[in-house]
C-alpha cells in the first residue's frame, strides 16, 4: 500500500499544466509587406556581388505588381518588371530586354528586394533571355524611396 501512496504524489506532480515557452521566432517575425510598402518611386545603385563598384544608378516606379525601371547608364530605355509580395520581400522578374552594358544581349533580371520604411536592399541575377540557367551577373542593390 505504501508504494501506491508514493506514486500518487509523483503522478500529480507530473500532471501539472505548464505554460509552454513563447515562440520567439513568431514574435520576432517582421510584418508582411503590402503593396503600399512597395508602391512609389525608388532610386538606388547596383553593384556586382563581392564588389563595391557601382555599375548602375537606377530608378523604379512601382505600383500594383509592376515596376518601370530606368538607369542613368542606359538613358531612354525602360525595363518592365512584374513583382509579387512574399512575406517581408518583393520578388520580381523583368521582361526580356536588350542590355546596352552587356553588348545588347537580350537578358532577364530576377531580383528579391526587402523594403523597410523608405530604404530597400536586395540581390538579383541577370541571365540570358534565351538561356535562363546562364548567369551573366549576380548583384546587390540598395536604394531609397523618393518623396
| pLDDT category of residue 102 using cuts at 50, 70 and 90 | confident
CA 146 to chain centre: 19
Cell 525601371 belongs to residue: 69
- What pLDDT does residue 9 have? 46
Strands of 11-88, DSSP E? 40-48, 56-63, 66-71, 79-86
Spell out the domains of the chain, with CATH numbers in brackets.
32-146 (2.40.128.30)
| pLDDT category of residue 23 using cuts at 50, 70 and 90 | low
List, for residues 26-37, the tens digit of each pLDDT value. Answer: 556 678 999 999
Percentage with pLDDT > 70 across the chain = 80
CA gap 31, 49 in Å, rounded: 28
- What pLDDT does residue 100 have? 87
Average pLDDT (35-61) is: 97
Amino acid at each position: 500500500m505504501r508504494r501506491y501512496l508514493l506514486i500518487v504524489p509523483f503522478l500529480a506532480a507530473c500532471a501539472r499544466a505548464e505554460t509552454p515557452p513563447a515562440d520567439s521566432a513568431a514574435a520576432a517575425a517582421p510584418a508582411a509587406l503590402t503593396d503600399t510598402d512597395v508602391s512609389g518611386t525608388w532610386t538606388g545603385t547596383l553593384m556586382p556581388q563581392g564588389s563595391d563598384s557601382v555599375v548602375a544608378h537606377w530608378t523604379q516606379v512601382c505600383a500594383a505588381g509592376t515596376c518601370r525601371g530606368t538607369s542613368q547608364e542606359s538613358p531612354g530605355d525602360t525595363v518592365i518588371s512584374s513583382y509579387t509580395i512574399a512575406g517581408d520581400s518583393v520578388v520580381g522578374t523583368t521582361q526580356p530586354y536588350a542590355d546596352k552594358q552587356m553588348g545588347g544581349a537580350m537578358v532577364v533580371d530576377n531580383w528579391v528586394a526587402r523594403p523597410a520604411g523608405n530604404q530597400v536592399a536586395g540581390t538579383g541575377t541577370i541571365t540570358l533571355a534565351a538561356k535562363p540557367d546562364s548567369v551573366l551577373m549576380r548583384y546587390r542593390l540598395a536604394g531609397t524611396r523618393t518623396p
